[in-house]
């Protein structure tokens, strides 16, 4: 059920490049498109993937006639010439720091250095810094340190200024970040760092960057929505004020939702009511929508004539596209194949929860029978993530087997403004469960689903919502947790640095709110779960440790609740191998059929 995916588009002087995920073996490889011909550049034995913050991102950059990338196996930076008489040239290792991971790579052509986020895993803890590395000697210089996290280095066109984001515990990058700009000397020394935005820790900033005139830009939610701002005469000015999200939750590094092909003009990807749009924004702030038929755009870059993006749609596979900014003409450069089977189309869903509203996308079963269909509710991870109305083979698997699917963007999801995104602060395991209950009630009232055959599944944080819903709601017949959080208190003690204080925001201080942690823990509420549950877990998971899932499974099993645990030795947090993804779906379907017929 897995499909090929693309990431990290970059324009070079001799073509367009991207990282291509191959589900057959779970590896990421760099591809060059030049003269209409694709060429795989990454040799066997390598996979381009960073593990900074565990979720990675920004794992490669172009460096003239070479490229630099982070290899998944050792997390070191490697240097590879682009070509040698048409042959793929073996890469050479640049860094030799086994205790360090790298990400968010940025080439500095003025000093011929690669700037990167370095995450050192030492005996006294994990330390994040911004560093500059020589691709020849591997020698490093620290550019910025002292904050808990760094991301998004950006260099002005003349090389004089470096901008970056930083944040500290207990914040996440989607709650409060800081934007710095510093002078970068000719010898690579960084000094006179100036705080440009985020002083009061009241705004989330995303993707700082300079246009060709050296004007600094950044996406900020200071007005309630992630909008694009430019610095003019010492003041930040909103480029195009909209009740829409020009940014996304920065779970990964190296994300790009805007580009400036020329000063004062922008190509922007944004989210409106959970669905994506691509805009061309002119000098006066006027916005023109480009490309109908696609519902998500990411990894934007541009040249003087065209915008390039990775695009997704409800009725086709992921594509690499090019769009003429003047005519709007679309060219699909890679992917974009239409499935050879029927598809269920997403329908925008919303319902009221008290005085508020919850959103999602509803997919009816492909074949409507005389009776109302069973409902499968999907709860995404994060919890600050978003479910978009795009083609997902795993979702269509269910609609093709008679299930209606609700892809729920419970309160706390990104894509609906800052207030909606912050709705889970202190109420995780409660507000999201209320949204599940409200959604079930709304669909049952509409006669869209069978109230006696309600199922729920979720991954990671969505697994937590799923398990709490099973413990709180009496109208769900069965559920599935994929590497889901079962004990938030235990999770906080052992999880990685990036999320180690996230629970303080979602639930509260674990010492002062110990009872709250217990009352919202599915593991400590296992006696309230009376319906069957199936678990899927990666043995190499460093985010939600396998012990949590084992304990949850054993707690249900000891009470005689029908339950299964499937452990995957070759998977971590999120299943990457196609064979394993298929196995999950087939086993989960059989489990549900045992419960509802």
Residue 288, strand partner residues: 280
What is 347-596's CATH number? 3.40.50.1820
Average predicted confidence (pLDDT) for the chain: 94
* pLDDT exceeds cutoff 80 at 3: no
pLDDT of residue 492: 80
Share of the chain above pLDDT 70, in %: 99
- Closest CA relative to residue 5, chosen from 16, 24, 307, 13: 24
pLDDT band at 192 (very low <50, low <70, confident <90, very high): confident
Q: What are phi and psi of 59, to 5 degrees?
A: -85, 5
pTM for the full predicted model: 0.93
pLDDT of residue 369: 74
pLDDT band at 86 (very low <50, low <70, confident <90, very high): low
pLDDT of residue 490: 81
Q: How far apart are CA 299 and CA 286, in angstroms?
A: 22
pLDDT band at 89 (very low <50, low <70, confident <90, very high): confident
* pLDDT exceeds cutoff 60 at 423: yes
pLDDT of residue 85: 56
Q: What is the pLDDT of residues 285-323, one digit of tens each?
A: 899 999 989 999 999 999 989 999 999 999 999 999 999
For the stretch 591-596, contacts whose Cβ atoms lie closer than 8 Å and that sit 24 or more positions apart, written own/partner, are: 591/478, 591/480, 591/532, 591/534, 591/564, 592/374, 592/376, 592/455, 592/478, 594/532, 594/562, 595/455, 595/477, 595/478, 595/531, 595/532, 595/562, 596/374, 596/453, 596/455, 596/477, 596/478
For 52, 80, 160, 592, the CA distances from 371, given in Å and listed in that order, are 49, 59, 67, 18
- Sequence spans of domains, the chain: 153-252, 256-338, 347-596
pLDDT of residue 112: 96
As a whole number, mean pLDDT of residues 513-529 equals 90
Give, as one character, the DSSP assignment of residue 304: S
Q: How far apart are CA 370 and CA 353, in angstroms?
A: 30
Give, as one character, the DSSP assignment of residue 150: E
pLDDT of residue 574: 84
Q: How far apart are CA 160 and CA 188, in angstroms?
A: 10
Q: What is the pLDDT of residues 103-160, one digit of tens each?
A: 999 999 999 999 999 999 999 999 999 999 999 999 999 999 999 999 999 999 999 9
């Amino acid at each position: 059920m897995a499909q090929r995916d693309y990431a990290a588009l970059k324009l070079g002087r001799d073509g367009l490049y991207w990282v291509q995920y191959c589900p057959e073996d779970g590896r990421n490889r760099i591809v060059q498109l030049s003269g209409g011909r694709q060429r795989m550049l990454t040799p066997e034995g390598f996979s381009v993937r960073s593990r900074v913050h565990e979720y990675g991102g920004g794992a490669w950059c172009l460096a003239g006639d070479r490229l630099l990338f982070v290899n998944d196996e050792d997390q070191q930076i490697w240097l590879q010439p682009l070509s040698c008489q048409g042959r793929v040239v073996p890469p050479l290792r640049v860094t030799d720091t086994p205790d360090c991971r790298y990400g968010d790579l940025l080439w500095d052509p003025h000093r011929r250095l690669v700037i990167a986020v370095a995450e050192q895993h030492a005996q006294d803890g994990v330390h994040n810094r911004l560093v500059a590395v020589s691709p020849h000697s591997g020698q490093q210089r620290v550019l910025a340190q002292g904050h808990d996290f760094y991301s998004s280095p950006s260099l002005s066109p003349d090389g004089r200024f470096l901008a970056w984001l930083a944040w500290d515990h207990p914040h996440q990058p989607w709650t409060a970040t800081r934007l710095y700009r510093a002078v970068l000397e000719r010898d690579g020394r960084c000094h006179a760092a100036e705080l440009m935005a985020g002083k009061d820790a009241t705004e989330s900033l995303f993707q700082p960057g300079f246009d060709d005139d050296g004007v600094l830009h950044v996406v900020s939610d200071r007005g309630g929505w992630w909008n694009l701002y430019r610095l003019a005469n010492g003041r930040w000015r909103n480029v195009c004020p909209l009740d829409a999200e020009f940014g996304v939750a920065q779970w990964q590094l190296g994300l790009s939702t805007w580009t400036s092909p020329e000063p004062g003009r922008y190509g922007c990807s944004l989210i409106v009511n959970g669905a994506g749009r691509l805009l061309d924004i002119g000098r006066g702030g006027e916005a023109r929508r480009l490309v109908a038929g696609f519902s998500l755009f990411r990894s934007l870059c541009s040249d003087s004539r065209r915008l390039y993006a990775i695009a997704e749609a409800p009725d086709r596979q992921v594509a690499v596209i090019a769009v003429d900014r003047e005519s709007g003409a679309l060219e699909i450069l890679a992917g974009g194949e239409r499935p050879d089977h029927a598809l269920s189309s997403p329908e925008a869903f919303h319902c009221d929860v008290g005085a508020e509203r919850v959103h999602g996308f509803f997919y009816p079963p492909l074949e409507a029978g005389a009776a109302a269909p069973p409902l499968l509710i999907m709860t995404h991870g994060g919890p600050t993530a978003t479910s978009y109305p795009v083609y997902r083979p795993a979702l269509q698997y269910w609609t093709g087997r008679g299930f209606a699917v609700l892809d729920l963007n419970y309160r706390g999801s990104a894509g609906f403004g800052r207030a909606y995104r912050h709705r889970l602060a202190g109420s995780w395991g409660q507000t999201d469960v209320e949204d599940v209950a409200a959604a079930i009630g709304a669909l049952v009232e509409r006669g869209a689903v069978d109230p006696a055959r309600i199922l729920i599944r979720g991954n990671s944080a969505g697994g937590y919502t799923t398990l709490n819903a099973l413990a709180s709601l009496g109208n769900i017949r069965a559920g599935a947790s994929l590497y889901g959080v079962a004990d938030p208190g235990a999770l906080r003690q052992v999880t990685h640095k990036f999320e180690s204080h996230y629970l303080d925001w979602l639930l509260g201080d674990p010492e002062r709110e110990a009872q709250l942690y217990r009352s919202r823990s599915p593991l400590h509420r296992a006696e309230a779960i009376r319906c069957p549950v199936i678990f899927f877990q990666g043995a190499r998971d460093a985010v939600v440790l396998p012990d949590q899932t084992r304990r949850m499974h054993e707690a249900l099993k000891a009470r005689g609740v029908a339950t299964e645990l499937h452990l995957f030795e070759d998977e971590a947090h999120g299943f990457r191998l196609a064979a394993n993804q298929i196995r999950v779906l087939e086993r989960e379907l059989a489990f549900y059929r045992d419960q509802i017929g």
